[in-house]
C-alpha cells in the first residue's frame, strides 16, 4: 500500500511538472510573438538574412489583399494538380479544410497551389472557418476569390493573385502541416510569419530568438536616425554615423 501511494505521489508530481513546463512554454511563445508584433517586417527581413545568410522574404507578388499586418506560427496545406476524378469537392480542399479546422488561435494558414496562380486556394467558406477559429490570417501561393466577402468578415489574407476559378475538377490537396515552398520561400509548420503591406517574411523557428534580437537592434538604430536626419538635414551623414540604410 505504501509503495502504491509513493508511485501515485510521484505520478501526481510528474503531472504537475509537465503542466508547469507547458504553461511556461506557452507563456514564452506568446511573449516571442508579441515582441515580433512590435517590429517592422522590413527589419525582420534584414535580420533573417543577417542571421541565416538566406533570404526569408516571399516573392514580390505576395500582397496584402485584405486585412491588417499579421504575426503568427505557420500551419500549412499543399495542393497539387490532378485528374478530375481525384479533384472532387471533398478532395480538392480536404487537407486545407483540416488545417483550418485544427488551427489554434493566432496561427497563420499557408496554402500552396503548386504550379498555378489562376485557381483559387480559398474563398469565403474557408475564410469564415478561419475567422471563427481565431486564425491571424492566411497566406496563399495561388489565388483568392470572394474577396468582397472575405474583406467584409475582416480576415487578413495575403495572396499572389485573385481569380473566381475553383480547384474542383483540377486540383486536390495532398498533405497538411508539411514543409512547403511558398512564393519562393521554404515554410515549415511552426515557422513564424511576419507580414504587412511590404510583403511576407518567414522566420525559421529555430532561429526566431536570434532574428528577433537582430531586428530589434535594427529598429533601435533607425529610431536614432530619424531625429539625426531632421537635425542635420542630411541622409549621407546619418548613413555614415549609423551604418544603416
Domain ranges of the chain: 42-204
Nearest to 199 by CA among 50, 16, 64, 53: 64
Q: What is the structure's pLDDT at 12?
A: 54
The pLDDT of residue 21 = 47
pTM of the full structure: 0.85
Please report how many Cα atoms fall inside a 13 Å half-sphere around the Cα of residue 80, on the Cβ side.
Answer: 7
In the chain, what are the helix, strand and coil shares in percent, each to the nearest 5?
45, 25, 30
* Model pLDDT, residue 17: 45
Q: Which of 67, 75, 31, 51 is nearest to 195 (CA)?
A: 67
CATH match of 42-204 with 3.50.30.40: yes
Q: In this prediction, what percent of the chain has a pLDDT beyond 90? A: 78
pLDDT at position 39 is 96
Residue ranges in the chain whose pLDDT is less than 50: 16-22
Residues shown for the chain: 245
- Mean pLDDT score across all residues of the chain: 90
Predicted pLDDT of residue 20 = 44
Cβ proximity of 97 and 185 under 8 Å: no
What pLDDT score was predicted for residue 10?
55
Condensed to tens digits (0 to 9), the pLDDT of residues 109-127 reads: 999 999 999 999 999 999 9
Pull the grid cell for residue 173: 490537396
pLDDT tens digits, residue range 48-91?
999 999 999 999 999 999 999 999 999 999 999 999 999 999 99
Rg (CA), the chain: 22
Amino acid at each position: 500500500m505504501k509503495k502504491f501511494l509513493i508511485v501515485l505521489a510521484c505520478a501526481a508530481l510528474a503531472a504537475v511538472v509537465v503542466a508547469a513546463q507547458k504553461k511556461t512554454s506557452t507563456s514564452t511563445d506568446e511573449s516571442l510573438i508579441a515582441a515580433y508584433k512590435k517590429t517592422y517586417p522590413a527589419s525582420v527581413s534584414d535580420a533573417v538574412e543577417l542571421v541565416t545568410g538566406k533570404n526569408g522574404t516571399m516573392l514580390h507578388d505576395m500582397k496584402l489583399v485584405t486585412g491588417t499586418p499579421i504575426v503568427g506560427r505557420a500551419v500549412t496545406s499543399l495542393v497539387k494538380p490532378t485528374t478530375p476524378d481525384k479533384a472532387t469537392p471533398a478532395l480538392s480542399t480536404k487537407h486545407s479544410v483540416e488545417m483550418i479546422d485544427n488551427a489554434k488561435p493566432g496561427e497563420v494558414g499557408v496554402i500552396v497551389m503548386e504550379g498555378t496562380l489562376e485557381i483559387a486556394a480559398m474563398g469565403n467558406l474557408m475564410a469564415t472557418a478561419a475567422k471563427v477559429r481565431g486564425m491571424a490570417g492566411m497566406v496563399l501561393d495561388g489565388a483568392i476569390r470572394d474577396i468582397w466577402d472575405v474583406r467584409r468578415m475582416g480576415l487578413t489574407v495575403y495572396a499572389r493573385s485573385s481569380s473566381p476559378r475553383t480547384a474542383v475538377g483540377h486540383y486536390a490537396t495532398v498533405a497538411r502541416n508539411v514543409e512547403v515552398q511558398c512564393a519562393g520561400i521554404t515554410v515549415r509548420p511552426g515557422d513564424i510569419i511576419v507580414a504587412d503591406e511590404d510583403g511576407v517574411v518567414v522566420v525559421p523557428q529555430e532561429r526566431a530568438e536570434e532574428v528577433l534580437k537582430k531586428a530589434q537592434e535594427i529598429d533601435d538604430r533607425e529610431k536614432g536616425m530619424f531625429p539625426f536626419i531632421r537635425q542635420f538635414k542630411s541622409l549621407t551623414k546619418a548613413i555614415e554615423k549609423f551604418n544603416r540604410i
